[in-house]
Structure 1
Amino acid sequence: MALRSSYHFPQELIFEILSYLPVKSLLRFCSVCKSWLSIISDQQFIDTHLTNSQKKPATLVLDNDFDNVYVDTREESVRLHVPPQRNGRARWMCSCNGIVCLTEQYGNVMYLWNPWTNHQLSKLCSPKGRGDWDESAFMFVYDSTCNDYKLLRLTFCVLHTYYYPPDRDYIANGLVADLYSSKNGNFKEINVPDNVKNIEVRTNSKCFHDLKTGVLYFEGSAAMVFEAVDGSVLSLWTLDDVCDDKVAWTKKFNIEADVKINCVFLHLGVGQFVAKNDDGHIFYDYKKKDVKKLLSPAPVGQFNSVVKYTESLVSLEVFQGFELLT
């Protein structure tokens, strides 16, 4: 008579192993048994899995035609299939904890989407539409102090534009800020400091050409990348102290590689950035000083948004005010 072997793994060990697996695998494993389904559905597991996923940086790429969205890592590029319930093309994209926010051209309509757990979109229309000539920018964050997701929309209301070739200047006047909270489910206008309400942007200034990035979040500090006066090297600087009218910047390191890097888009963590050279978008590791081309097949000129991305099991149900589209 053959002896049957029986193995019992502690729930804590199963929890730990599963927390390192991709979301796609976890969704399949929900059907293995009731105990696995219970583990994967638990909020503590969802939080632990998210923490582990954040150690594996990736980028999300949106092309101008919005026909394709790609998740890019150093090893592969995966095309995501966006649900078709949108009214129009998306212009901007941001992401937080695996949730992707897509906004239409003027930022008045927003969609939320988790590419791995749900093939539906949630839609929210801003109560205060902005004009066709206004420009909007978005920031999507999670506030751990109150367990709340927040979406900030900054709208630059264009007052007038000057065209004096070969220079091109424009003045944006009347900065407006709207803040969405997932707990109360709506946008509310928040105060903008008087000293930044009127913003003048001169695109022909020397400072504009020296600046080779937007504002980055680097190891707990705001950071920017500047080019040396002679164009020989790019350097990353962090904003370490702001006191009254005095601002202190600290140089951290030079951007060095075997190929010339033109600009830097974002910091992924673990020493990696997304940058751009003459051949396209690249991953840059400042510790190893090596580069690798993004594998996304989208043409370089058609990249509309490149953002940091982490896959997760976070549900859209926590976002009050959004309407689930079917």
Structure 2
Amino acid sequence: MAKKSSGFYFPEEVIFQILSWLPVISLLRFKLVCKSWRSMISKSELIENHTANSLKREAFVLSLPTIPVDEVSYSSGRRGDIKNAFYFDTHDLSYMLHFPPQISDVKHLIRSCNGLVCLSNILGNFIYLLNPLTRGFKILPTPKIDAFYRIDLGFCFDSISNDYKLLRIMQSDVSNYGRFTFVLKAELYSANANSWKKIKVPKAVTKILPWPYSKCVDFNSGVVYFENGKELLSFDSHNEVFGIYQFPESVRHKRKSDVLDFNGSVAMIFESVCDESVLSLWTLDDVCGNVSWVKKFNLEVVPGISWINLHLGAGQYVAQCNNGASYVFYDYRKKETTELPHLQNCVSVMKYRDSFVSLEGFEQLQ
């Protein structure tokens, strides 16, 4: 009689499902366990499942400090100069990843989508796309339009074309009978084509000047949003169409947040005109074929919170306290805050979903 083997046996399908839910930082270690795990983790099927599952997990807060900090303690135990590093934070997990010095001068503008990060210099004419966890990266071709004034970038995934796209908008001066005026110009990068093309900007949009660093991506449709004081400027990356959405008349000029990704919808938080202690969250929804703002609920915040930066899901926010003096995790349901001391003097603070996504032409950072 054959001797029964001891130990536990897990079918490959079960292992596949377990791995697809784990953080990338763990999967990178598990690739070293055995050849079969390494092969499974590298398969496109697992990468696709993992990317989809990451939308259901708590998002990371990705931040990049601008100045060295003498001493910072993390779960990893690493201390010292954190100037050239990415930081990834949730309530339960924090870690730091240094990035190579050759890209330290291109982190003026930072965007993130599906685990990929876009880094740009101040004029947006030198741009990297990289996966900071897998260390894959590529340098984008030089944009077609020269920029001499303020620029902004919108990074998103066009699920219809299965293509990562980057919108570059900039102020440019135009001479009109000897008088110079500022107008918006735009161009779009396609990862599939690995090239830029100029985008026509409608007259209604040319005079809109978005505020830098504020943006949101609707992950369901590949639309990027930029804000200024009274409206959102949108761009549909698949149909290549701009749109303008005025803030609700009753709460205009009472903004208390950046434009947010709220459970797949674009959202803003406004202060009540009648009562400054009451905040309300509004989403931009399609109502009977018309896109309009819909008030969802009032948001009671603890004293001291002055601005909402991110919505992480499940009632979790990243907020500024005391007019930007500090950053905190804010649990809306429990009315609790947890300090994020290292977020001071950051280039950018953004919502990040970890993934194994790689693009054609990616090289490996050392």
CA deviation digits over 1:226-262, x for unaligned, max 9?
A: 1223422222112235899x97422212221332321
Change (3 A) 1:45 1:53: same
Report the counterpart of residue 178 of structure 1 in structure 2: 187
1:197 aligned to 2:197?
no
Q: Which amino acid aligns with 1:21?
A: L
Contact 2:184–2:207 (Cα < 8 Å) also in 1: yes
Per-residue deviation, 1:209 = 5.3
CA distance in structure 1 between the aligned counterparts of 2:159 and 2:109, rounded to whole angstroms: 25
Per-residue deviation, 1:184 = 0.4
CA distance in structure 2 between the aligned counterparts of 1:152 and 1:200, rounded to whole angstroms: 15
Change (3 A) 1:88 1:43: same
Per-residue deviation, 1:305 = 0.8
Q: Which deviates the most, 50-59 or 181-190?
A: 50-59
Residue of 139, 147, 151 corresponding to 1:131: 147
CA deviation digits over 1:254-303, x for unaligned, max 9?
A: 22133232111122223322221115112223333332222x524x2x12
CA deviation digits over 1:92-147, x for unaligned, max 9?
A: 111111111111111111112212212x6421243335333x11111211122221
CA distance in structure 2 between the aligned counterparts of 1:323 and 1:138, rounded to whole angstroms: 23
Per-residue deviation, 1:28 = 2.7
Per-residue deviation, 1:175 = 0.9
Report the counterpart of residue 84 of structure 1 in structure 2: 101
Per-residue deviation, 1:172 = 7.7
Report the counterpart of residue 150 of structure 1 in structure 2: 165
1:109 aligned to 2:118?
no
Q: Secondary structure at the match of 2:139?
A: strand
Per-residue deviation, 1:80 = 1.6
Change (3 A) 1:219 1:193: farther
Contact 1:111–1:121 (Cα < 8 Å) also in 2: yes
Change (3 A) 1:172 1:41: farther
> Could you state the TM-score of these two structures normalised by the residue count of structure 1?
0.81
Contact 2:140–2:194 (Cα < 8 Å) also in 1: no
CA distance in structure 2 between the aligned counterparts of 1:220 and 1:87, rounded to whole angstroms: 32
CA distance in structure 2 between the aligned counterparts of 1:124 and 1:25, rounded to whole angstroms: 29
CA distance in structure 1 between the aligned counterparts of 2:173 and 2:337, rounded to whole angstroms: 39
Alignment of 1:1-326 (within 5 A): 5=6, 7-54=8-55, 55-65=57-67, 66-86=83-103, 88-118=105-135, 121-132=137-148, 134-157=149-172, 173-199=182-208, 210-229=254-273, 230-241=275-286, 248-278=292-322, 279-294=325-340, 297-298=342-343, 300=344, 302-315=345-358, 317-318=359-360
Q: Secondary structure at the match of 1:199?
A: coil
Per-residue deviation, 1:89 = 4.4
Percent identity over the alignment? 45
Matched residues, number:
306
Q: Secondary structure at the match of 2:108?
A: strand
Change (3 A) 1:325 1:117: closer
Per-residue deviation, 1:69 = 2.4
CA distance in structure 1 between the aligned counterparts of 2:138 and 2:365, rounded to whole angstroms: 6
Contact 1:123–1:323 (Cα < 8 Å) also in 2: no
Contact 2:100–2:365 (Cα < 8 Å) also in 1: no
CA distance in structure 2 between the aligned counterparts of 1:68 and 1:261, rounded to whole angstroms: 27
RMSD over aligned Cα, in angstroms?
3.2
CA distance in structure 2 between the aligned counterparts of 1:146 and 1:204, rounded to whole angstroms: 33
Q: Secondary structure at the match of 1:50?
A: helix
CA distance in structure 2 between the aligned counterparts of 1:237 and 1:53, rounded to whole angstroms: 25
CA distance in structure 2 between the aligned counterparts of 1:204 and 1:14, rounded to whole angstroms: 50
> Could you state the TM-score of these two structures normalised by the residue count of structure 2?
0.73
Change (3 A) 1:197 1:52: same
Gaps of 5+ in 2: 68-82, 212-227, 231-250
Contact 1:85–1:325 (Cα < 8 Å) also in 2: no
Contact 1:172–1:200 (Cα < 8 Å) also in 2: no
Greater relative contact order (CA < 8 Å, ≥ 6 in sequence): 1
Gaps of 5+ in 1: 161-170
Contact 1:83–1:121 (Cα < 8 Å) also in 2: no
Contact 1:172–1:199 (Cα < 8 Å) also in 2: no
